Amino acid sequence: MGKIIFLDVDGTLVDYENHLPESAVLAVRKARENGHRVYICTGRSKAEVYENIWEIGLDGMIGGNGSYVEDHGHVVMHQMITPEQCRHIVDWLKERGLEFYLESNAGLFASAGFEEAGEPVIQEYSRRKGKEGADKIKVRDAFPEMIFDGELYRDDVNKVSFILNQYQDYKDAVTEFSDLQAGTWGGAGEIALFGDLGVKNITKGNAIAHLLEYLHADVADTIAFGDAKVDIPMLEYCGYGVAMGSGGDEIRAMADYVTGDVDQNGLYDAMKKNIGIFLVLCIMLTACKNDKFPYDDELDDSEKNEISTEYDSLIDRKIANTKDEKINIGYDEALSEYEGYL
């Protein structure tokens, strides 16, 4: 039984300078070779998913933090800001002197002053992620296909990101746009660098639910990887959640497992060393505790102890969450599932 894997992009699949590690490519390809489906689940709109990402080999994408869902080229769901809402946002941001960009599947459309105003903000964003040479990053490095002279009153916008001159800008946006979902990114609370506005009640978790309904798939067979607060609904919804080492305190605290940074082979290591075992855990999470556990013969005693501890913790948490609903799945079936992944 194949699993369905959801990968955030920035900070998970690629680093914050848009570099795609070869180890991440290998991890995705190996997963798909072994019969698992892989989707990116990102804040990016489709126009920001560049060819090098598609060339990895993906089954589809969730974009706009959940506003767009695609499976093998078929659009499962697409919810956009209305033209009237877009005009309201653009006019309000211009009036306040806030630079911004519109995120559409047709491209990223920036306000006139975004390239200049965005440079120190993008650099600070990279510094916070611990990237060397952050002070040399340009807006065009972060957004290589951004359009700086396009139409801003549009009917194809997924969401809008804008630079916060102060945290009050976000608070005022919440008040002004009660019909939209307002958020922040680039930092927690008052140190956030950007605000954003999108379709109300859209999350990555909600979008995954739409995709699973379309696929007639079970949420128990899902695994999510992410690094940011916006990824938390995805990790909460999926059967198993992995946080990247570069992630914030909040997502690392709630994740089932924390791996390394993407540029330190975090995605690859999690899949190669752990996901095979965690696939077994996903099967057995709501099962009665078994005296046996399928170990890889190559694991040393410390690794076996770590897995056993993870297993105990997950069983306790998941059975508590599902009350007394237990699925009796035997050792042989679990072991077969694990060996099928390797």
pLDDT in tens, 129-149: 777 788 899 999 889 999 999
- When mean pLDDT is compared across 61-65, 205-209, 230-234, 267-271, the lowest value belongs to 267-271
Mean pLDDT of the chain: 83
pLDDT of amino acid 46: 93
pLDDT of amino acid 13: 93
Number of H helices, E strands in the chain: 13, 13
Rounded to whole angstroms, the Cα distance separating 111 from 93 reads: 10
pLDDT at 333 over 70: no
For helices 276-284 and 301-321, angle between their N-to-C axes, nearest 10 degrees: 30
Token digits of residue 293: 């556990």
Cα 234 to its chain centre, rounded Å, is 7
Buried b (16+ CB within 10 A) or exposed e, 272-309: bebbbbbbbbbbbbbbeeeeebbeeeeeeeeeeeebee
pLDDT of amino acid 342: 36
Region 34-40: mean pLDDT is: 92
Residue type, 213: E
The bridge status of strand 157-163 relative to strand 100-104 is: antiparallel
pLDDT in tens, 73-130: 999 999 999 999 999 999 999 999 999 999 999 999 999 999 999 999 999 988 887 7
pLDDT of amino acid 132: 75
C-alpha distance from residue 206 to each of 172, 223, 235, 312 (Å):
26, 15, 11, 29
pLDDT of amino acid 133: 81
Cα 206 to its chain centre, rounded Å, is 13
Region 65-70: mean pLDDT is: 95
C-alpha distance from residue 26 to each of 9, 298, 326 (Å):
15, 21, 35
For helices 167-176 and 83-96, angle between their N-to-C axes, nearest 10 degrees: 140
| Residue 188: CA count within 13 A, CB half-sphere | 9
More confident residue, 111 or 331: 111
pLDDT in tens, 236-277: 999 989 999 988 889 999 998 899 988 888 888 887 655 554
pLDDT in tens, 149-197: 999 999 999 999 999 999 999 999 999 999 999 988 887 667 889 999 9
Rounded to whole angstroms, the Cα distance separating 96 from 165 reads: 10
Rounded to whole angstroms, the Cα distance separating 25 from 71 reads: 19
8 Å CB contact between 47 and 16: no
Model confidence at 212, pLDDT cuts 50, 70, 90, reads very high
Token digits of residue 117: 């105003």
pLDDT at 331 over 60: no
pLDDT at 315 over 80: no
pLDDT at 313 over 60: no
